[in-house]
């Protein structure tokens, strides 16, 4: 972890994306501009920034691949216009027979410096009959992603990835000091687990967590939890949206806090050999 990186302001943009990609993009651009005016040098939007649609056939109908996705150029222009690092938490785009759930990180010059496809598909059956089968619509990624920048080293993830702590440990051990978790958590799971999971990932890795979220009742009928958050490496909540309305939250990221947390509890340097320590009874 570099010692010469200066503190910076980070912002989480909270959205309620619907079915209209152009409208969602314009909504995101407006909030990005507000966050930039408030002094954010790093701005992150939630999962499925460009469209939220649980109906696979409708989503895929007319959905272009990356080369044809107009949103990509619009967000590049925004990063360049505001001079910020911009993480678009994810965009839906066509990828062969399925869609991809893909993050894009833009530099202040408007260049795409990293792409990340969500690794873990949300295939669950919840109480009350709520059921999700993301793997029927989206193709899973196959690589973790660490991005070294002059602000910080960012580890990328998306939503359901949050429940797989080894991913975050691997990113932290590789040098990530800011872990990004853009999401569209269901209201049911978000109310129960969102803050706890984010806090755990921050504490166990001595890292900042930047977690922009979708919130509210969407056009496709789903309900998401909102409560976008920025959490410090000691588990302290630096910023939190207290509901599910669109907007943004802002906090200062000082990497000295991550260095201090890792000095106090140097668990990232320890890796027990579970193959020899687990005894089957």
Phi, psi angle pair for 134, to nearest 5°: -60, -30
Active-site residue, from 118, 134, 145, 240: 118
List, as one string, the DSSP characters of 115-181: EEE--S--EEE-GGG-EEEGGGTB------EEEE-SS-EEEE--GGGGG-HHHHHHHHHTT-SEEE-
**Coil vs helix vs strand at 52:** coil
Phi, psi angle pair for 102, to nearest 5°: -125, 130
**Cα separation of 38 and 242, whole Å?**
19
Active-site residue, from 12, 71, 134, 159: 159
Closest C-alpha among 121, 99, 131, 115 to residue 21: 99
**Cα separation of 94 and 176, whole Å?**
29
Query: Which residues, including other chains, have CB under 8 Å from residue 162's CB and lie 6 or more apart?
Result: 181, 183, 197, 198, 201
Closest C-alpha among 103, 94, 87, 100 to residue 44: 87
**Cα separation of 79 and 33, whole Å?**
9
Q: Identify the DSSP state of 188.
A: H
Active-site residue, from 12, 47, 94, 240: 47
- Please, are residues 16 and 246 in contact by the beta-carbon 8 Å criterion? yes
Q: Does 280 qualify as catalytic in the annotation?
A: no
Burial of 222 (0-12, 13-18, 19+ CB in 10 A): middle
Token pair, residue 136, equals 């029927």
Residues assigned a catalytic role: 47, 118, 159
């Amino acid at each position: 972890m570099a010692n010469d990186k200066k503190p910076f302001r980070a912002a989480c943009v909270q959205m309620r994306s619907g079915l209209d990609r152009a409208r969602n993009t314009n909504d995101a651009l407006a909030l990005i501009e507000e966050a930039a005016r408030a002094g954010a040098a790093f701005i992150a939007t939630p999962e499925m920034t460009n469209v939220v649609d649980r109906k696979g056939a409708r989503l895929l109908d007319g959905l272009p691949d990356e080369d044809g996705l107009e949103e990509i150029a619009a967000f590049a222009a925004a990063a360049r216009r505001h001079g910020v690092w911009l993480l678009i938490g994810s965009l839906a785009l066509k990828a062969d027979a399925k869609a991809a759930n893909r993050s894009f990180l833009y530099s202040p010059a408007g260049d795409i410096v990293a792409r990340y496809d969500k690794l873990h598909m949300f295939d669950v059956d919840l109480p009350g009959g709520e059921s999700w089968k993301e793997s029927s619509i989206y193709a899973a990624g196959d690589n973790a992603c660490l991005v070294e920048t002059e602000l910080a080293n960012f580890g990328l993830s998306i939503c359901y990835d949050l429940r797989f702590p080894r991913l975050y440990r691997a990113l932290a051990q590789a040098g990530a000091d800011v872990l990004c978790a853009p999401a569209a958590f269901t209201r049911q799971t978000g109310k129960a687990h969102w803050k706890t999971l984010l806090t755990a990932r921050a504490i166990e890795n001595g890292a900042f967590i930047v977690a922009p979220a979708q919130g509210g009742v969407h056009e496709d009928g789903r309900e998401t939890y909102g409560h976008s958050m920025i959490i410090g490496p000691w588990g302290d909540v630096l910023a939190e949206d207290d509901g599910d309305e669109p907007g943004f939250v802002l906090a200062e990221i000082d990497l000295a806090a991550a260095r201090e947390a890792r000095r106090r509890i140097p668990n990232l340097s320890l890796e027990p050999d579970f193959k020899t320590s687990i005894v089957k009874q």
